[in-house]
Structure 1
Amino acid sequence: MIEIPSKLEGEQYSLFDLESELKPLGYSIGGGWDYEKGFFDYKIDDEVGYQYLRVPFTASSGALDSRNTSVAIGRPFLLSHKYQIGLDDHARVGNFQASFNQFSEPQDKDASFPEEYIDVGKALVKELEELLL
């Protein structure tokens, strides 16, 4: 994990408005959210595992599954997940079985982040700052 300091840290937004701004850019609300915190994920690459820019947020008013929720942005970071070799081959067996296999544990959830994508992550954070501030 590589943290990227940002001017967005601590900024407050309507979750609905934030999601409306970020989804068209390729961001999605990542897994692992709960009623108080979550992440916007941007997949940078998926050639060897998955490399993401992850933008954390916490509810500042309301729960994440309710209307009119406000969130505060946390410090963005780069994250690399390397999934277990061979599981994807078996996940295509059928829709029912694949729905369970997609949640397999990563081989290395804190895999080293490829050097060539660090600048990409920094540029993505700068783009977010220009869009949201």
Structure 2
Amino acid sequence: MRFDNSGLEAFKVDLNRLDEVMEQNGMVRAGQWDYERATYDHKFQIKEGTYYLRIPSYALEGDVGAHDAVLQLMTPILGKHYYPHGVEYGEDEYFPSHLVKQCNQMLEKIKKDVEVFAE
């Protein structure tokens, strides 16, 4: 599921500032990066299954590995995890309304926090 109206796609943010904002909002980058991209995740384990809210980004300049990059945020997505196959994001998936509501609230908070540091 895509959150096309989140407004996050408008932001370009320094990697170190973005890491701080995302961590404060329960989003983890961990090993989800390479030198040109980074993905921030929040894992939900609820009775309906395991879901991931993901906010992908890519480097406009600099190097993610060197902690010296400016990242362009991309459209957030919500996916359901199926063991052992991975995460599915398709429109055919069932996403509980309470989960979608919680994701929208998280994204709105992240947007407000990122606005302060965005270029």
TM interval, short-chain normalised? 0.7 to 0.9
Matched, 1:112 2:112: no
Q: TM-score, normalised by structure 1?
A: 0.71
- In the other structure, the counterpart of 1:58 is 58
Task: Note if contact 1:57-1:74 (Cα within 8 Å) is conserved in structure 2.
Answer: yes
Unmatched 5+ residue regions in structure 1? Answer: 85-104
Identical residues among aligned pairs (%) = 24
Match runs of 1:6-17 below 5 Å: 6-17=6-17
- Larger radius of gyration between Structure 1 and Structure 2: 1
TM-aligned CA distance change 1:82 to 1:114, over 3 Å: farther
* 1:119 partner amino acid: K
Match runs of 1:1-133 below 5 Å: 2-4=1-3, 5-29=5-29, 31-84=31-84, 105-106=85-86, 109-110=87-88, 112-133=94-115
Higher relative CO (CA 8 A, sep ≥ 6), structure 1 or 2? 2
Alignment coverage as a number of residue pairs: 110
Question: What's the Cα RMSD here?
Answer: 2.0
* 1:14 partner amino acid: D
Using the alignment, how far apart are the partners of 2:106 and 2:25 within structure 1? 10
Shift of residue 34, structure 1, vs aligned partner: 2.2
Q: TM-score, normalised by structure 2?
A: 0.78
Unmatched 5+ residue regions in structure 2? Answer: none
Shift of residue 47, structure 1, vs aligned partner: 4.4
Q: Deviations over 1:94-128 (max 9, x none)?
A: xxxxxxxxxxx43xx31533333111111111111
